């Protein structure tokens, strides 16, 4: 009864949370209703460039600042780690009120340092990122008859030897009427109309509006310095401004000021609020994603055929022959054994560096579990691009929680290797808790010093470093130790055969066994290299990655291929009487990380040709190294566990003395 009462309390708490939140909408945020004349505030994010990959603060350049001063918006952990710095801006609109020739400010005469910095940022192709109602500003350009979409707009442009700044912005805000039927459909409940009223503040029946699009056209307009002398922010500029994006006029010069203006136009659109991110997430290359999946399926089918041959023709045939013989014939057959049957007394001999192997397998389970759970939640829409930073925050959360699984697997494997001995489980738990996070912390700290030296907003603040260390040692490590304790209490896996005290000599091989292991990584790489291109483009080219459904399918196929590759390689090694399969089974599938790193280097040379400077290249290679380390642990763990199951099954199916 007590458990039932507790269950009822939990149900009531969950219902209360949903009642307070009035339901939820998967892709990110709630619709915000604005009435005519309501103030819309534009926010600014960090300046970004695919040329350097170093984000900088918007106000590091001589732009207009808001009257109330620069203020940081609320940020989550993921935004800080990604280098996002969202701040308020002087741009503000009134809902459904078109305005033109709005004066912002006139800067002080550009100093020599400001002039050089502005030219440098223009040369490095830095983009200004604006946000309205959680929507990034989008810019359309026409090229070869096609419309290309970009988020943000460039700081300026270089024409011949002159530098021009985009100092006039033409905004288009797409709005949709806030109707009762839309509310009910968006909120997913028939009570949606009661949640947010469509009646105006003054009791009128005039509906409000929702922001469903935010477009910007940057222009370089020559303003006369004398015309802006006595103007205050948001005053009407005295002369008409013609915004022509095909021409540039405002050349920046040292010791001369720059005037900034803008205009805004509101357009009613048929776009519904749930579909407002479609312009950013419009699917391109869906056929390529399907081709990637079909390519992976072909590799899986090929490997599955080999595995089937191993099981049905070789193993089953040998086992059937052995079971049909009488005892005398079995004894005679034992003297004529060959291949994998000869290593029966050595196949479960403890590997070299067992503690490291257990820690790496435990960390691999933790990383793989984090990846699968995160991608599943992202595919369901809980971590869409509409919610900045939630993907990174979710990954950190799931990684810490799955420390229990890492400790459990590492300690249970340790006890299995040493036939149930409890000694040393705390040490193994600590290794699992500190191996991957320690290496990651070392890489990120080194890269962070480079970012600090470059004064980039991508640098993790010292306070956040302290938070990450506290999360590591106060949550992740204790959970891993708890998992280790559970693994120490759980029964170990018993070996089906005994191990001799004297190890059997491995006969000389015609070719190095590690050569096969390294070559095996090409097959898992073949299943994901197409999808890898889209992921790399998202990380380094500023494109939004959102096809998490495809990614989930590719990840499942990758796990299957890694298991099959490692299983086949382990069987091949056993057949040539090589009983040292533990580490080889791990690296047979884990070697895919080598090919991913080589692909990253290839991507740097041929796709990121514009990446300039040793700092940018070092950051790219450092983050790539961090990524491939995580992939190696995850894929290697899949290969090892599948091989362990295969070897255990193989030698438990036959009784050999």
What pLDDT does residue 26 have? 39
Least confidently predicted of 46-50, 279-283, 295-299, 439-443: 279-283
Torsion of CA 25, 87, 71, 455, to 10 degrees: 130
Least confidently predicted of 187-191, 550-554, 577-581: 187-191
In this prediction, residue 355 has a pLDDT band, given cuts at 50, 70 and 90, of very high
What pLDDT does residue 29 have? 56
Torsion angles phi and psi, residue 18, rounded to 5: -70, -35
The residues, ordered by sequence, that sit 6+ positions from 351 with a Cβ below 8 Å of its Cβ are 357, 417, 580, 582, 583
On whether residue 74 sits in a domain, the answer given is yes
Residue of 295, 294, 292, 299 whose CA lies nearest to 562: 299
Domain boundary among 242, 265, 280: 280
- Highest mean pLDDT pick, 73-82, 144-153, 259-268: 259-268
In this prediction, residue 7 has a pLDDT band, given cuts at 50, 70 and 90, of very low
In this structure, the number of other CB atoms found within 10 A of the CB of residue 2 comes to 6
Pairing of strands 168-177, 162-165: unpaired
What pLDDT does residue 19 have? 32
Q: In terms of domains, do 266 and 395 share one?
A: no
Q: In terms of domains, do 261 and 368 share one?
A: no
Q: In terms of domains, do 271 and 360 share one?
A: no
Contacts 24+ apart (CB under 8 A), 534-540: 534/285, 534/289, 536/600, 536/603, 536/607, 539/623, 540/50, 540/53, 540/603, 540/608, 540/620
Q: pLDDT at residue 584 above 90?
A: yes
Q: In terms of domains, do 519 and 621 share one?
A: yes
pLDDT: is 349 or 192 the higher one?
A: 349
Question: Residue 619 is encoded by which pair of tokens?
Answer: 């950051």
Q: pLDDT at residue 634 above 80?
A: yes
Q: In terms of domains, do 377 and 237 share one?
A: no
Residue 251 near residue 164, CB atoms below 8 Å = yes
Q: pLDDT at residue 184 above 60?
A: no
Average pLDDT over the chain, rounded to an integer: 81
Q: In terms of domains, do 260 and 386 share one?
A: no
The CA-atom distances, in angstroms, between 284 and each of 114, 253, 546, 553 are: 40, 42, 11, 18
Q: In terms of domains, do 266 and 366 share one?
A: no
Domain range enclosing 378: 354-653
What pLDDT does residue 186 have? 43
- Tell me the per-residue pLDDT of 481-515, one tens digit each, with 9 for 90 and over: 999 999 999 988 888 888 888 888 878 877 777 88
Q: pLDDT at residue 244 above 80?
A: yes
Provide, rounded to the nearest whole percent, the portion of the chain with pLDDT above 90: 39
Distance between CA atoms of 91 and 645, rounded to whole angstroms?
Answer: 62
Quick check: pTM over 0.85? no
The CA-atom distances, in angstroms, between 439 and each of 241, 363, 515, 583, 589 are: 56, 12, 27, 20, 21
On whether residue 200 sits in a domain, the answer given is no
On whether residue 192 sits in a domain, the answer given is no
DSSP letters, 623-646, are: HHHHHHHHHHHHHHHHHHHHHHHH
What pLDDT does residue 145 have? 64
Among all chains, which residue has been given the structure tokens 């483009």?
537
Domain boundary among 219, 248, 280: 280
Burial label for 324, CB within 10 Å (0-12, 13-18, 19+), is exposed
Q: pLDDT at residue 322 above 60?
A: no
The angle subtended at Cα 591 by Cα 586 and Cα 595, nearest 5°, is 165
DSSP letters, 51-77, are: TT---B-GGGSS----TT---BPP--H
**DSSP helix/strand/coil, 223:** coil
The distance from CA 125 to its chain's CA centroid, rounded to whole angstroms, is 24
Distance between CA atoms of 398 and 475, rounded to whole angstroms?
Answer: 12
The angle subtended at Cα 44 by Cα 41 and Cα 49, nearest 5°, is 155
Into how many domains does the chain fold?
A: 2
pLDDT: is 190 or 156 the higher one?
A: 156
Q: In terms of domains, do 237 and 374 share one?
A: no
Distance between CA atoms of 593 and 638, rounded to whole angstroms?
Answer: 13
What pLDDT does residue 122 have? 93
The CA-atom distances, in angstroms, between 316 and each of 301, 578, 649, 654 are: 21, 21, 12, 10
Torsion angles phi and psi, residue 479, rounded to 5: -65, -35
Q: In terms of domains, do 380 and 276 share one?
A: no
Q: In terms of domains, do 269 and 145 share one?
A: yes
Burial label for 114, CB within 10 Å (0-12, 13-18, 19+), is middle
Rg (CA), the chain: 31
On whether residue 250 sits in a domain, the answer given is yes
- Highest mean pLDDT pick, 415-424, 447-456, 528-537, 605-614: 447-456
On whether residue 579 sits in a domain, the answer given is yes
**Mean pLDDT across the stretch 297-307?**
75
**Mean pLDDT across the stretch 308-332?**
58
On whether residue 32 sits in a domain, the answer given is no
On whether residue 314 sits in a domain, the answer given is no
Q: In terms of domains, do 603 and 484 share one?
A: yes
Q: In terms of domains, do 366 and 463 share one?
A: yes
Domain boundary among 280, 312, 335: 280
Distance between CA atoms of 5 and 483, rounded to whole angstroms?
Answer: 29
On whether residue 14 sits in a domain, the answer given is no
Helix, strand, coil abundance in the chain, percent, nearest 5: 50, 15, 35
What pLDDT does residue 615 have? 84
């Amino acid at each position: 009864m007590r458990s039932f009462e507790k269950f009822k309390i939990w149900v009531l708490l969950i219902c209360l949370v949903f009642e307070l939140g009035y339901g939820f909408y998967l892709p990110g945020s709630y619709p915000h209703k604005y009435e005519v004349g309501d103030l819309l505030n534009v926010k600014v994010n960090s300046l970004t460039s695919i040329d350097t990959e170093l984000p900088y603060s918007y106000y590091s350049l001589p732009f207009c600042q808001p009257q109330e001063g620069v203020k940081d918006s609320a940020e989550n952990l993921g935004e800080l780690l990604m280098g996002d710095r969202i701040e308020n801006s002087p741009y503000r609109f009134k809902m459904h009120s078109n305005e033109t020739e709005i004066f912002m400010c006139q800067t002080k005469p550009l100093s020599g340092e400001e002039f050089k910095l502005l030219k440098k940022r223009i040369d490095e192709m830095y983009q200004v990122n604006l946000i309205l109602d959680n929507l990034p500003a989008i810019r359309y350009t026409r090229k070869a008859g096609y419309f290309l979409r970009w988020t943000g707009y460039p700081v300026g442009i270089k024409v011949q030897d002159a530098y021009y700044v985009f100092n006039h912005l033409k905004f288009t805000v797409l709005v949709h009427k806030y109707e009762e039927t839309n509310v009910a459909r968006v909120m997913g409940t028939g009570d949606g109309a009661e949640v947010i009223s469509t009646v105006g503040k003054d009791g009128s029946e005039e509906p409000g509006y929702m922001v469903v699009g935010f477009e910007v056209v940057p222009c370089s307009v020559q303003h006369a310095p004398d015309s802006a002398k006595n103007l205050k922010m948001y005053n009407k500029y005295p002369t008409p401004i013609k915004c022509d994006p095909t021409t540039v006029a405002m050349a920046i010069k040292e010791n001369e000021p720059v005037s900034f203006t803008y205009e805004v136009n509101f357009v009613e659109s048929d776009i519904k609020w749930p579909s407002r991110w479609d312009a950013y997430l419009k699917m391109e290359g869906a056929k390529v994603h399907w081709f990637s999946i079909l390519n992976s399926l072909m590799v899986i089918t090929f490997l599955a055929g080999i595995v089937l041959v191993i099981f049905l023709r070789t193993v089953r045939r040998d086992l059937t022959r052995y079971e049909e013989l009488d005892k005398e014939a079995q004894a005679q057959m034992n003297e004529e054994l060959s291949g994998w049957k000869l290593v029966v007394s050595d196949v479960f001999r403890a590997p070299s560096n067992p503690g490291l192997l257990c820690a790496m397998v435990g960390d691999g389970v933790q990383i793989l579990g984090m990846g699968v759970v995160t991608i599943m939640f992202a595919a369901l829409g809980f971590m869409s691009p509409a919610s900045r930073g939630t993907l990174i925050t979710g990954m950190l959360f799931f990684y810490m929680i799955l420390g229990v699984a890492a400790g459990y697997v590492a300690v249970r494997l340790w006890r299995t290797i040493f036939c149930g001995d409890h000694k040393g489980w705390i040490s193994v738990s600590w290794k699992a808790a500190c191996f991957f996070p320690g290496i990651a912390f070392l890489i990120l700290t080194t890269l962070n010093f480079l970012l600090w030296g470059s004064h980039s907003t991508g640098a993790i603040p010292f306070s956040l470093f302290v938070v990450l260390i506290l999360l590591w040692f106060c949550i992740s490590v204790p959970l891993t130790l708890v998992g280790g304790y559970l693994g120490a209490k759980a029964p170990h896996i018993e070996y089906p055969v005994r191990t001799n005290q004297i190890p059997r000599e491995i006969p000389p091989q015609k070719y190095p066994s590690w050569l096969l292991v390294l070559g095996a990584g090409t097959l898992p790489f073949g299943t994901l290299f197409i999808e890898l291109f889209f992921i790399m483009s998202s990380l380094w080219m500023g494109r939004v990655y959102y096809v998490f459904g495809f990614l989930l399918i590719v990840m499942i196929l990758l796990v299957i291929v890694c298991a099959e590759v490692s299983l086949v390689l382990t069987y091949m090694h056993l057949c040539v009487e090589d009983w040292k399969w533990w580490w080889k089974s791990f690296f047979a599938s884990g070697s895919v990380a080598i090919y991913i790193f080589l692909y990253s280097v290839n991507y740097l040379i041929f796709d990121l040709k514009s990446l300039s400077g040793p700092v940018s290249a070092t950051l790219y290679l450092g983050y790539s190294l961090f990524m491939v380390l995580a992939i190696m642990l995850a894929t290697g763990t899949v290969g090892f566990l599948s091989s362990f199951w295969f070897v255990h099954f193989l030698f438990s199916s036959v009784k050999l003395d």
